[in-house]
Amino acid sequence: MPLLDIRNVSFIDGSKTILDHVSVSAESHDFISITGPSGSGKSTLLKICSHMISPTEGDVFFKDRNFTDYNPVELRRKISHCFQTPCLWGRTVRENIYFPYWLRGIKPDQERIRNLFSLFRLPLAYMDQSAEKLSGGEKQRIALIRSIVIEPEILLLDEVTSALDAENTQITEQVIQHLHEEGLTVLWVTHSTVQSRKYANKILTVVSGQIHSLEVIK
């Protein structure tokens, strides 16, 4: 049984078909790189996978249950989505990191937070920094920590290193690979051919809203 199963999904925006009868599945512990030209529908596919938008046609299943059978809040606790441009809110980093805990009415796991800050090579003192004054690379790492601080089962990444320098890109890649090795299922949109092949066990290529190819890397 696939962990995530996309069946014959289309998405139409006005008169434009963004996705055209797409079917693809992700098994538990997959690391799938999603590639293809700009405007091919990759980001829309991730938004459908995170239940941010609903398909015009077709169905999406998580653990063999249709998305429509889930409470959207419950589903987003299991499937986390991190965007190309990080969006931080509130005044401080602490408010961003604690937000997923507040949302669930549970106490922040300080050990988990410390471990993630260490993995992303950020001092814990950053918790009291102004969210607005962080660099682009720092904002992206904080946004990623916020996405995974309460462990999801699936992590969706949309070009999260495209605006980062080489050092921050390497840090982010290493952390995502570490989390994947611990059991996290990852779907990562990237334009980098090198990056797409570095850690993935499958490479999905999307062209003009359709699945062009699915390569399994042995």
Per-domain boundaries in the chain: 4-88+153-216
Model confidence pLDDT, tens digit, residues 181-204: 999 999 999 988 889 999 999 999
What is the distance between the alpha carbons of residues 37 and 85, in angstroms, rounded to a whole number? Answer: 19
| Mean pLDDT value across residues 70-92 | 89
Threshold 0.85, pTM exceeds: yes
Model confidence pLDDT, tens digit, residues 139-159: 999 999 999 999 999 999 999
With 90 as the cut, is the pLDDT of residue 160 above it? yes
In this prediction, residue 1 carries a pLDDT of: 83
With 80 as the cut, is the pLDDT of residue 218 above it? no
Give CATH for domain 4-88+153-216. Answer: 3.40.50.300
The share of the chain scoring above pLDDT 70, in percent, equals 100
> Under a CB-based contact definition with an 8 Å cutoff, are residues 10 and 17 in contact?
yes
What is the distance between the alpha carbons of residues 184 and 30, in angstroms, rounded to a whole number? Answer: 8
Model confidence pLDDT, tens digit, residues 83-132: 888 889 889 999 999 999 998 889 999 999 999 999 999 999 999 999 99
- Return the DSSP state at 86: -
Q: Report the DSSP beta bridge partners of residue 204.
A: 34, 214
With 80 as the cut, is the pLDDT of residue 36 above it? yes
Q: Which residue has the tokens 């091919």?
A: 40
Phi, psi of 198 (to 5 degrees): -70, -45
